[in-house]
């Protein structure tokens, strides 16, 4: 906890301006570490929203200095498409990359949740999406941290932390695979189905983390034709990835890498998933039951 900035420690107060331009004040209850490109906190709402979120997800990287952030912003004004550039200090370069990555992940996640929030999956196999917005800070910042307010789901465990996948029931498998199929039909490709992003509980099976996702509709604009979207779905193989995550033991690092390489290169398979869906690569998903 000593390495956690005082701003995010339990008991601290955060002020957020949401995308609908109202303010919400929250108190930090719990911090999830280590921080990477996101800072995930459980918070208690003081000034209520129409619905009451309890999970704060604020993309940012640690460690951080204002000087590096300012330099990164100035660089991006001249090179707006830069992710890595050779003409800046390596620490500033890292900040440029993290700023771009955090912004990109936040945008992808918000686009996905805007689609999923209007479906029956919301509050069931994906967390409820409450709002997105900016964190209001008293200190000077060159980049305002962005936040996503999501449902906090108690009594669930990631597949990577289960230890024994024998606790995963056929209902969990059917529900999760059907959810991945539904993602694709609604216009979301996850791209990052792994054991850390699949949560299992007695009453819920949930897929999280859409920071690598692609959405057919982005910022309320349809970016892919139906034919082009079919190609995205075929390439992602989301349902097959979910099936593997919840039915196969976690492999060693070496076999995991080899398996991933084989999974990506095998482009000519037809698989009947355990929930009855037929997945054929280079074609659309069929919902014909076994």
Classify domain 157-280 by CATH number.
1.10.510
**127: pLDDT strictly greater than 50:** yes
pLDDT tens digits, residue range 54-99?
333 433 334 667 888 888 888 888 887 776 676 677 777 777 877 8
**Residue 144 pLDDT grade (very low, low, confident, very high; cuts 50, 70, 90):** confident
Measured CA to CA, the distance from residue 192 to residue 204 in angstroms comes to: 20
For residue 163, CA distances in Å to 63, 169, 197, 245, 279 come to 32, 15, 15, 13, 28
Measured CA to CA, the distance from residue 261 to residue 281 in angstroms comes to: 16
- Give the pLDDT score at 124: 96
Task: Return the closest-CA partner of residue 247 out of 157, 184, 176.
Answer: 176
**278: pLDDT strictly greater than 60:** no
Question: Kind and range of the H or E element at 115?
Answer: helix 90-116
pLDDT tens digits, residue range 183-235?
999 999 999 999 999 999 999 999 999 999 999 999 999 999 999 999 999 99
Burial of 213 (0-12, 13-18, 19+ CB in 10 A): buried
- Give the pLDDT score at 290: 31
- Give the pLDDT score at 125: 97
Residues 6+ apart with CB under 8 A from 235: none
For the chain, what are the domain ranges?
6-62+105-150, 157-280
pLDDT tens digits, residue range 11-56?
998 888 776 666 788 888 888 887 777 788 888 877 655 544 333 3
Residues 6+ apart with CB under 8 A from 253: none
Whole-prediction pTM: 0.67
Which tokens in the block code for residue 225? 């034709």
pLDDT tens digits, residue range 155-180?
999 998 887 788 899 999 999 999 99
**Class of domain 6-62+105-150 (CATH, top level):** alpha beta
What integer is the mean pLDDT of 92-118? 89
Q: What is the DSSP letter of 128?
A: P
pLDDT tens digits, residue range 225-275?
999 999 999 998 999 999 999 988 776 545 555 555 555 555 444 444 544
DSSP string, 239-274: HHHHHHHHHSPPPPHHHHHHHHHHHHH--S-EEE-T
């Amino acid at each position: 906890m000593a390495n956690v900035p005082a701003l995010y420690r339990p008991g601290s107060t955060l002020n957020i301006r949401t995308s609908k331009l109202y303010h919400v004040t929250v108190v930090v209850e719990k911090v999830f570490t280590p921080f990477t490109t996101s800072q995930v906190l459980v918070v208690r709402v003081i000034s209520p929203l129409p619905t009451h979120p309890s999970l704060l997800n604020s993309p940012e990287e640690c460690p951080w200095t204002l000087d590096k952030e300012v330099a990164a912003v100035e660089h991006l004004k001249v090179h707006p498409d830069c992710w890595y550039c050779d003409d800046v200090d390596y620490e500033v370069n890292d900040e440029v990359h993290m700023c771009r990555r955090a912004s990109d992940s936040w945008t992808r996640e918000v686009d996905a949740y805007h689609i999923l929030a209007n479906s029956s999956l919301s509050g069931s196999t994906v967390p409820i999406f409450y709002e997105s917005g900016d964190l209001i800070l008293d200190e000077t910042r060159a980049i305002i941290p962005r936040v996503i307010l999501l449902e906090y789901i108690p009594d669930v465990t990631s597949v990577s932390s289960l230890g024994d996948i024998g606790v995963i029931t056929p209902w969990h498998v059917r529900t999760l695979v059907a959810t991945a199929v539904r993602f694709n039909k609604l216009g979301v490709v996850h791209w990052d189905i792994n054991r850390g992003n699949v949560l299992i509980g007695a009453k819920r099976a949930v897929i999280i983390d859409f920071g690598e996702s692609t959405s057919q509709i982005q910022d309320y604009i349809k970016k892919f034709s139906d034919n082009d979207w079919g190609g995205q779905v075929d390439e992602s193989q989301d349902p097959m990835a979910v099936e593997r995550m919840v039915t196969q033991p976690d492999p060693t690092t070496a076999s995991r890498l080899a398996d991933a390489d084989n999974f990506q290169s095998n482009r000519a398979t037809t698989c009947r998933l355990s929930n009855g869906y037929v997945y054929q690569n280079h074609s659309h998903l069929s919902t014909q039951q076994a």
